[in-house]
Structure formats: structure tokens, C-alpha cells
Amino acid sequence: MLLELKIRNYLLIDSLEIQFSSNLNALTGETGAGKTILIDALGLLLGERSAGSCVRKGAKNCEILGTFDLKNKCLAKDFLDSLSLNPEDDSPLILRREIDLEGKSKSFVNDRQVSLNTLSSLGNFLVDLHGQHEHQLLLKLNEQRELLDRYSGNGSLIKEIENLYLQWKTLLEKKESLLLSEQERAQRLDLFQYQLREIDTSKLVPGEEEEIEKKLPQLKNADKLRQFSDELYSHLYESEGSVLERLKICQGLMHNLESLQGELKDSPFLLEESFLKLNEVANFMQSFRENLNADPEKLDALISRQDLISKCKKKYGSSIEEILTVAEKIRLEVKSLEFYDQTLDGVKQEIQTIYDELIKKSKKLTALRKKAGEKLSLLAMRELKDLGFSKAQFSVQLTPNLNSEGQEMPATHGLEKIEFLFSANPGEAIKPLRQVASGGELSRIMLALKKVLSECDLVPTLIFDEIDTGIGGSMGHVLGEKLQSLAKAHQILLITHLPQIAAFADRHLLVRKNVRGETTKVVLELLDDKNRVKEVARMLGGILEDGVEPTAISLKHASELLLNAR
């Protein structure tokens, strides 16, 4: 759950710290006071895209930091473990987002920088955020299908179906690529066989190109190499007064010096070492020049080989290794074309096997969905009845995906379309939810489904931004009771304009704007019992202007609301 939220230099917020209850938290305030700004800031912390315009005027960047408790069962732990980001010793999880004036942002998990995608994925496990228009998602068929599957716990089966579907589609594409005309097949076979002969007759050997490049300079420059090595060997050893001959004389003189002077430190040793090393050089040069042979035929052969390799590289790959890999692929293509009928039959058989398994698992999913849909419908209608729909009908409709010939058409999500049907009043035909539900009805239906799903939904924190849209005060108390009940299984953050709902909160936070001259700031106040009564009275309409105290009647009514909500 969310323990604390810190916001700095975000829009109208200078600096703000908010601590939350583990149950129901209500944020209230005048229209335009900045309540939604807080939810938007939390959305950024959870991985939503940012813009430089969100930085407060006069600041260089903004920062949003959230502290989360992961002690209870939470899918976020597994996700963090997979990335080696899990805090040690059940320490709180800390998320941080920094955004500069250009809209560039940095994301951190426990002070380790991560990508925005990682932050967004993690956020999905921590918070389920429903904005002012978020309940409109309930009208989308994909959302309805996901709600049903979440309730029925079909996640692993759906993944199996997705994998089978992708295998099936891949094989169908392979089959299409194999369906060539006899002429096309013959043309491709001729081309592949020519390419394979060209590569095979080249007899390419890995590493030979480097060996050629190493030998060519020696063959190209054999005459000059012989000339230089002869001169060097002569100066070192053969000529009269050669270097080694003179060094031998020097050694004799050094010996005479030692016999007269005694110790001469390292000089004799260095002279001896120089003689030995130069002698090694002379021996090497003797061997080197003896092995030097001008060989025009060998030179031409290597140049021709180098040209052949270069031509092959232009056609088939950037290296000999890559060319040989291409050759193996061509060999497989040739084999496939030579045994075309057998290859095609094998692919067709594999397609049928995968298809049968896909249909089998999809039908199993259909049966689970039907059973779960019936149960979900009954429980949802029970919750809707409490929310003022005494005669409402709600059901889950499964419509098979059929092609033009009436055959079942598999998809990544099964064999059917899922749609919620709804009727608010007796005598009205039950119709698709997207055709009949108003904004207020959608809010209550969403809450009813959330209540039913609360036991299987592992996201710890739910946020409702004005879920009471379109709902009158008469239903506020009932809605408040439902939220209070839902808050036993989930932490709830709620923006509301209804005092009947705010009265049920375990923690009541007042959001307001402070205007001083040209500066406007959003501030937050945790209400004590006395100020909470005043705020509920304001929401009831007891305060009409700033600075005007609520009437005794509105204060009494507010006190009663708070008392009855306990």
C-alpha cells in the first residue's frame, strides 16, 4: 500500500507531504482546489508520460516520491525479484520521478535508475487508478473480457492459448510461403543450386582470409625484404668490422679493465647481454633471408584467392563464416524445394495438431468463462441492488467468433467475444452496457464489480477520482458503505464531492488553494475531528463564502453523518 507521497515543484504545488491510512482515504475541497493535481502527480510516479509544462513556474525541475509497504501479498514483489530490485528486510519500496523543463525525466526504484517502462509495469502491480473518465473503460469489450478473466483466474490458460495461437499463425504463414507454382519452384531451385555450387566450389575455410592478408606483403615485397635483410645481416655479422666483431673487441677491453680496476658495477654484464641479444638478431636474420623466396606464381594464386573471397562476400555475407552460414540455409531451402510435397504435408500436419490443441484449450476456457460469468452476474446484481438498482439485470454474454462459413475462429483470447449486458429498470430489455448506461450508472457498476473482484484482485491500492459522478446524495451513504467495505481488502484513495461518502473515510484530507498576490499554491491539511465536521458541513452547503462559518444546523447534520458512518 501507499504510505507516503512527497511532491515538489509540480504545477501549483510548491512542497507537499501526504501520509495515508491503510484503509479509506478521502480527499475533498472546493471545485478547482487542486485535488486532481495530486492524482495526476501520482500517475506520473507510476509511469505515465510527462511534459516539461508540469514543472512549477520558477523551478528547474519537479520531483515526486512515493513510499510503499510490500509486507502483504503483492505481485509487485515477484516483479521486483525478477529485476533484483526488491528491498531487503521488508524495507519500504521507494519510487522517485524527476522531470525537467524540457519534459525529460529520470525514474528510480530504491535509488536505482530504471526505464520508464519498468516504472510503468511496476506501477500496474501497486496501484489501480480510476480517473474521472476511467469508468468509461468499462464500456470497452477488451476491459470487460479482462475483468471476467481476472475474476475466473484464467491467466495461465490464456497464456497457453496465446502461445498456441502464435504458433498456429506462424505455421499458416509458412504454409503460404510454400504454396508456389511449379515454375516459381523450379526458378527458385535453380537459383539456390547455382548459389550453393558457387559457394561450395570456392572451398572457403574460416580464417584463410586473414592468413592471405598476412602472407601477401611478404610475397609482394620479397626482393626489397631480401635486400634489406642481407644488408642488416652483413652489418651485424658478415662484413669486416661488423657490429658483433667490434663488440667482441669491446669485451676483451672490458676484461682488461676489470683485471686492473676490479669491480665495474653492471658494465661488463650489460656488454655481455648486448652481445648475446645482437647475436640472436643476427641468427634470426640469417634464417629469415634464407626463407625469403620471390614466388610470382604463389603471389598470383593468393591474389586470385583474395579476389574470389571478395566476390563471395559481396554476394553472400561480410565474412567467410557468414557466407558458410548462408550456404547452410540455402542447402536447407534446396532440400525443402526438392522434397516440396513432403515438406508441405509436414507443415499441414503440424498446423492441424496445433489447431486441435488450440481449439481444445479454447473450449476449456469458454466453459470456465460461462461458469464464472454466471457467478459474476449474480454477485454483481446483489451489489447493484444495494447501490439503488433494485430491479437491475446484469449478465455476461459470450458470443462465438465465427467466419463467413459459420466456423469457429480462434483468437489470442479465445473463441468468443465477451460483453456485459445491463438493464437498470424493470420492463427494459437487457442490452449491451455501452448502449444503455449513464455516467452515474457506470460509476456504480464499476464499484459493484470492484467489490466482487476485491478478493481475487492482488493490486493493493485503488484510487477513485470522483467515482460519485452522477450520483445524488440519497445514494451517497450506500456508496460510502460499499467503499468502506472494499477498504477492508484494499487501501482506497478517493476524491469525492459527496459528504455522505467522505464521512466514511478513516483519514480525511482537505485540499485548497492559497493565493497571495501573483502566487497560487495548492496546500493540504489533515483534518482533525473539529475541522472535519466543518468540512463535511461545507460539503453539505453550510458554508457559502470564504470566511463564513457554517450554520448550527449544517454542523449538526455533519456531526450526525460522521457518527453514523463509524
User: What is the pLDDT at residue 547?
Assistant: 60
**C-alpha to C-alpha distance for 243 and 252, rounded to whole angstroms:** 14
User: What is the pLDDT at residue 220?
Assistant: 67
Mean pLDDT to the nearest integer, 417-444: 81
User: What is the pLDDT at residue 504?
Assistant: 92
Nearby residues of 257 by Cβ (< 8 Å), 6 or more positions away? 264
Question: The C-alpha cell of 394 is what?
Answer: 446484469
**C-alpha to C-alpha distance for 507 and 27, rounded to whole angstroms:** 9
User: What is the pLDDT at residue 428?
Assistant: 82
User: Per residue in 70-96, pLDDT tens?
Assistant: 876 567 887 888 888 877 767 888 999
pLDDT reading at 314 higher than 60: yes
User: What is the pLDDT at residue 327?
Assistant: 92
Torsion of CA 344, 348, 351, 352, to 10 degrees: -170
Mean pLDDT to the nearest integer, 121-149: 76
Judged by average pLDDT, the poorest of 121-135, 296-310, 446-460, 484-498 is 121-135
Helix (H, G, I), strand (E, B) or coil at 30: coil
**C-alpha to C-alpha distance for 53 and 502, rounded to whole angstroms:** 32
**C-alpha to C-alpha distance for 116 and 45, rounded to whole angstroms:** 10
**C-alpha to C-alpha distance for 507 and 528, rounded to whole angstroms:** 9
User: What is the pLDDT at residue 407?
Assistant: 82
Answer whether 340's CB lies under 8 Å from 178's CB: yes
Which of 76, 57, 66 has its CA nearest to residue 122?
76
Helix (H), strand (E) at residue 562: helix 552-565
**C-alpha to C-alpha distance for 430 and 381, rounded to whole angstroms:** 13
User: Per residue in 190-238, pLDDT tens?
Assistant: 999 999 999 999 999 998 888 888 877 766 666 676 677 777 877 887 7
Mean pLDDT to the nearest integer, 249-262: 77
Selection from 44-48, 122-126, 157-161, 330-334 with the highest mean pLDDT? 157-161
Judged by average pLDDT, the poorest of 238-242, 357-361, 458-462, 467-471 is 467-471
Nearby residues of 251 by Cβ (< 8 Å), 6 or more positions away? 271, 272, 275
Pairing of strands 461-465, 13-19: unpaired
**What is the set of domains in the chain, with CATH numbers?**
1-131+506-524 (3.40.50.300), 133-171+354-458 (3.40.50.300), 202-332 (no CATH)
User: Per residue in 369-423, pLDDT tens?
Assistant: 999 999 999 998 988 888 878 888 899 999 998 888 888 889 999 999 999 998 8
What does 249-316 look like in DSSP terms, one character per residue?
A: HHHHHHHHHHHHH---TTHHHHHHHHHHHHHHHHHHHHHHHHT----HHHHHHHHHHHHHHHHHHHHH
- Which phi-psi region, left, alpha or beta, contains residue 455 (left: φ > 0; alpha: ψ -120 to 50)? alpha
User: Per residue in 505-516, pLDDT tens?
Assistant: 999 999 888 877
**C-alpha to C-alpha distance for 45 and 395, rounded to whole angstroms:** 37
Mean pLDDT to the nearest integer, 176-200: 83
User: What is the pLDDT at residue 512?
Assistant: 84
Question: The C-alpha cell of 363 is what?
Answer: 473450449
> Mean pLDDT in the chain?
83
User: What is the pLDDT at residue 189?
Assistant: 86
Answer whether 400's CB lies under 8 Å from 150's CB: no
Which of 102, 127, 111, 112 has its CA nearest to residue 47?
127
32 or 494: whose pLDDT is higher? 494
**C-alpha to C-alpha distance for 23 and 492, rounded to whole angstroms:** 6
User: What is the pLDDT at residue 48?
Assistant: 84
**C-alpha to C-alpha distance for 149 and 418, rounded to whole angstroms:** 10
- By CB atoms closer than 10 A (0-12, 13-18, 19+), residue 559 is middle
Mean pLDDT to the nearest integer, 184-194: 86
pLDDT reading at 436 higher than 90: no
Mean pLDDT to the nearest integer, 310-322: 90
User: What is the pLDDT at residue 123?
Assistant: 86
User: What is the pLDDT at residue 241?
Assistant: 76
What does 65-92 look like in DSSP terms, one character per residue?
A: EEEE---S--HHHHHHHHTT-PPGGGPP
